[in-house]
Amino acid sequence: MSNYEKMWQELGLDVGLHNEVLASIDRTFQQTVGNQKHRPERMKYFDNVLHESHGGRIAEILEAKSKGNKMIGTFCIYVPDEIAMAVDVIPIALCGGTNFSVPYAEKTFPRDICPLVKSTLGLAFSKTCPYAPIKSMAVGETTCDAKKKTWDILAQKVNFHVMELPQKKENIDVQLWHKEVREFKDKVEGLAEKKIDSNKLAQAIKIMNNKRRALEELNELRKNEPAPISGLDALVVMQAALNDEPVRFTLKLNELNLELGERIHKNISPFIKGAKRIMIAGCPAVMGNWKVHFLVESAGAAIIIDESCTGTRYFDNLVDERPTDLDGQLSAIADRYMKINCACFTPNNERIEDVVKKAKNYNVDGVVQYILQYCHGYNVEAIRVDGALKKANVPSLKIETDYSEEDVGQLRTRIEAFLERLK
Amino acid sequence: MNIKTAGIDIGSRTLKVVILNECGLVDFRIVSTGVDPIGRAKEILKDYNYDMLAATGYGRHLAQAHFNCSVMTEIRAFAIGAHHLFPKCQTVIDVGGQDSKIIKIADGRVADFEMNDRCAAGTGRFLEVMANTLGYSIEDFYREALQAKSSVSINSMCTVFAESEVISLIARGEDPKNIALGLHQSILNRLLAMMGRIGFEDDIIMAGGVAKNRCMVSLLGKKLGKKLFVPEEPQIVGALGAALVAEKERRKI
């Protein structure tokens, strides 16, 4: 750790407080993910990605920076990574999942905004996010009001670009998004001081598509009864996906997938026989946040699929690899990202249909709608999702919670009662 | 005839034990949970020679660790207990020390439920704190409320804020009876909102410690326009449900 401390000091972090943040995240990790039995051997790599996200990964990015490459921070899976990668810009998702930093945001921000935004800001404000000082630009988007207004404040201090995400899915909205994707291209070109060429972009598209294919394969493996991997471990893989270098990540994920195939063959599963198959639908659970997944699985259920930004919304749909000209490629990218069914859209029928379809395809016994407190989009949309699931005869439970531990007792009772209902 | 099963419900405020044999209820105990619920439970259980135990309530996992017994949530236990006492029961309103629940029953099983989250707003603890603030015992609190001429509206649902509200109402010279009724009314509104979300059908059973509060039962019955059934011992419905599950398990062996 001592080498890293020197690095953090040079980056201007509050090293003492930063150590406390890491200790707090690690404690939560050990109590949840680390507490599981029968984990796949190859999960070690992904655990390590999370452990090194403030250490080794930072050193790696600093090394790339010394060669003239840049890093950008993102806060949404709508930001197209492949465009940045095509000019050797490293995109890193900076969303916070730790409760530790929330009070640091609440010093200036209203308390009634979502814990993900507060955790992210708290890390930046308390000088405990090592990505903040090394990023060359931050990229925001217009998915929710709390984020939009946060960008105004951050933009006063750092190089900030906002992608305008349309709120409807009509032609005119799709056109806006195509324009935004091209503007993003111009921005990263300016940052990297080089032009994107179509060969390099084709390569980046392929890298990201391969990553999506590997994640899709993991999802297919999870479908098996009994599932070869816990939902908590699959979540760790997703959290690593938002941080790790994509080629290496895909390689390691393919290795994990092979192991999971063998586990299925040998009938090895972390779950007891007959464990209820649960789908999580709704908000993302980013690194540091294992709360609801842990509660659901420690109550004896098996999470089989996640319909969230740390689940299928991240890897569903590939970018069409056929276009070879730059304009065609950018359009293909815009079209793929436009298919992410974020609750910021009105209407968002595609998501509701998708949740029901996945619940059926994955043969789940019930759906837990996971809502981050104050996330109005997913919270209100939960009513329609619940209605559609009821029609399809799939029981569902809505849980609205933040990152704190104060409601764990009551949540446990509600989750266990929901599972009892499924018997 | 001597075969006995036991059910234990470790709640946030009280610990309940029910002992059954083949003819029915043999005995029950209600004590305060205290800081050492397992010690209390052991003390009570040593008096009985039971064959099978099951646990429920907030402390169910603690009980499981100590007694190696099966566990269920209060929601399932109250549904089973209420259905046993009132076979036509389709809705259970359980207001306990720390949380309140509405349980829908179909074919003797939990079909759906609503439960308050987080704090003690709208629970027995809320009433306890408010009675204390007004200087009443729990029993006098509802007796006085029943004699109120009108109800003072209480705006805060939070136990802490409501307490300050009550203190300022006292300072304003409001009749404590009317304040007491207002406090009951505010819990009623919260319960009705929960019932509205989930829906409810006859027969409706009210259980949990707050079912002993006659003002609450009368207000709720009037508002619903339906008869509310209250078991003779509303606090032990969960422990009874647990004992019935233990009995089922004993027969399996």
Bond prior to A347 in cis (omega within 30° of 0): yes
pLDDT of residue A3: 81
Q: Chain A window 199-238: which residues touch B at a Cβ cutoff of 8 Å?
A: none
Q: By C-alpha distance, which of A64, A132, A128, A66 is closest to A94? A: A132
Whether A413 and B73 lie within 8 Å, measured CB to CB: yes
**Nearest residue in chain B measured CA to CA from A407:** B118
Which DSSP helix (H) or strand (E) runs through A123? Answer: helix A115-125
Contacts of A406 in chain B (CB under 8 A): 118
| Chain centre distance of CA A421 | 30
On whether any CB of chain A is under 8 Å from the CB of B107, the answer is: no
User: Using CB atoms, which residue from B73, B117, B118 is nearest to A416?
Assistant: B73
Average pLDDT over residues A96-101: 96
| Percent of chain A residues topping a pLDDT of 90 | 98
Q: Chain A window 361-420: which residues touch B at a Cβ cutoff of 8 Å?
A: 400-401, 406-407, 409-411, 413-414, 416-417, 420
Contacts of B110 in chain A (CB under 8 A): 417, 420-421
Q: How far apart are CA A392 and CA A206, in angstroms?
A: 37
pLDDT band at B118 (very low <50, low <70, confident <90, very high): low
Q: How far apart are CA A67 and CA A73, in angstroms?
A: 19
pLDDT of residue A158: 94
Task: Give the list of residues 6+ apart from residue B63 with CB closer than 8 angstroms, or none.
Answer: B8, B10, B37, B38, B41, B55, B57, B69, B71
User: Using CB atoms, which residue from B109, B115, B118 is nearest to A413?
Assistant: B115
Whether A410 and B75 lie within 8 Å, measured CB to CB: no
Average pLDDT over residues A248-263: 98
Question: Does residue A320 carry a pLDDT above 80?
Answer: yes
Strand partners, B52: B5
Question: Does residue A117 carry a pLDDT above 70?
Answer: yes
**Nearest residue in chain B measured CA to CA from A411:** B117
For chain A, counts of helices (H) and of strands (E)? 19, 8
pLDDT of residue B116: 81
Q: Kindly report the nearest CA distance between residue B73 and chain A, in angstroms.
A: 6
**Nearest residue in chain A measured CA to CA from B105:** A421
Question: Does residue A341 carry a pLDDT above 60?
Answer: yes
Question: Does residue B230 carry a pLDDT above 60?
Answer: yes
User: Using CB atoms, which residue from A401, A407, A417 is nearest to B73?
Assistant: A417
Provide Rg for chain A, Cα atoms.
21
Whether B115 and A417 lie within 8 Å, measured CB to CB: yes
**Nearest residue in chain A measured CA to CA from B103:** A417
Contacts of B115 in chain A (CB under 8 A): 410, 413-414, 417
Contacts of A417 in chain B (CB under 8 A): 73-76, 110, 113, 115
Average pLDDT over residues B5-16: 95
DSSP string, A245-307: -HHHHHHHHHHHHHHHHHHHHTT--SSPTTPPEEEEEES---TT--HHHHHHHHTT-EEEEEE
State the best of B10, B75, B197 to mutate against chain A, taking most chain A CBs within 10 Å. B75
On whether any CB of chain A is under 8 Å from the CB of B64, the answer is: no
Residue A311 to residues A58, A107, A116, A218, B66: CA-CA distances in angstroms? Answer: 25, 32, 16, 11, 38
Contacts of B75 in chain A (CB under 8 A): 413, 417, 420
Residues A134/A99, Cβ–Cβ less than 8 Å: no
Residue range A359-409, pLDDT digits in tens: 999 999 999 999 999 999 999 999 999 999 999 999 999 999 999 998 998
Question: Does residue B203 carry a pLDDT above 80?
Answer: yes
Whether A420 and B75 lie within 8 Å, measured CB to CB: yes
pLDDT of residue A289: 98
Average pLDDT over residues A302-307: 98
State the best of B107, B113, B116, B119 to mutate against chain A, taking most chain A CBs within 10 Å. B113
Q: How far apart are CA B163 and CA B143, in angstroms?
A: 20
Residues A338/A346, Cβ–Cβ less than 8 Å: no
Q: By C-alpha distance, which of B42, B40, B73, B54 is closest to B8? A: B54
Whether B58 and A413 lie within 8 Å, measured CB to CB: yes
Strands (E), A1-117: 70-74, 89-93
pTM here is: 0.94
Whether A420 and B72 lie within 8 Å, measured CB to CB: yes
CB pairs under 8 A between A and B: 40
Residues B94/B100, Cβ–Cβ less than 8 Å: yes
Whether A417 and B99 lie within 8 Å, measured CB to CB: no
pLDDT band at B235 (very low <50, low <70, confident <90, very high): very high
Contacts of A416 in chain B (CB under 8 A): 72-73
3-state secondary structure of B29: strand
pLDDT of residue B226: 84
pLDDT of residue B157: 81
Residue range A210-235, pLDDT digits in tens: 999 999 999 999 999 999 999 999 99
Contacts of B11 in chain A (CB under 8 A): none
Residue range A169-206, pLDDT digits in tens: 999 999 999 999 999 999 999 999 999 999 999 999 99
Residue range A33-79, pLDDT digits in tens: 999 999 999 999 999 999 999 999 999 999 999 999 999 999 999 99
Whether B73 and A409 lie within 8 Å, measured CB to CB: no
Contacts of B73 in chain A (CB under 8 A): 413, 416-417, 420
What is the 3 state secondary structure string of A165-200?
CCCCCCHHHHHHHHHHHHHHHHHHHHHHCCCCCHHH
pLDDT of residue B1: 54
**Nearest residue in chain A measured CA to CA from B12:** A409
pLDDT of residue A387: 97
pLDDT of residue A184: 98
Residue range B82-111, pLDDT digits in tens: 999 999 999 999 998 888 999 999 988 999
Whether A409 and B111 lie within 8 Å, measured CB to CB: no
Whether B74 and A406 lie within 8 Å, measured CB to CB: no
| Percent of chain A residues topping a pLDDT of 70 | 100
State the best of B71, B73, B198 to mutate against chain A, taking most chain A CBs within 10 Å. B73
In our burial notation (b when 16+ CB lie closer than 10 A, e otherwise), range A44-58 reads: ebbbebbebbbbebb
pLDDT band at A358 (very low <50, low <70, confident <90, very high): very high
| Percent of chain B residues topping a pLDDT of 70 | 99
Q: How far apart are CA A417 and CA A420, in angstroms?
A: 5
pLDDT band at A107 (very low <50, low <70, confident <90, very high): very high
Q: Kindly report the nearest CA distance between residue A410 and chain B, in angstroms.
A: 6
pLDDT of residue A286: 98
On whether any CB of chain A is under 8 Å from the CB of B76, the answer is: yes
Contacts of B59 in chain A (CB under 8 A): none
State the best of A416, A418, A419, A422 to mutate against chain B, taking most chain B CBs within 10 Å. A416
| Chain centre distance of CA B50 | 25
Q: Across all residues in chain A, what is the average pLDDT? A: 97
pLDDT of residue A1: 52
Residue range B34-92, pLDDT digits in tens: 999 999 999 999 999 999 999 999 999 999 999 999 999 999 999 999 999 999 999 99
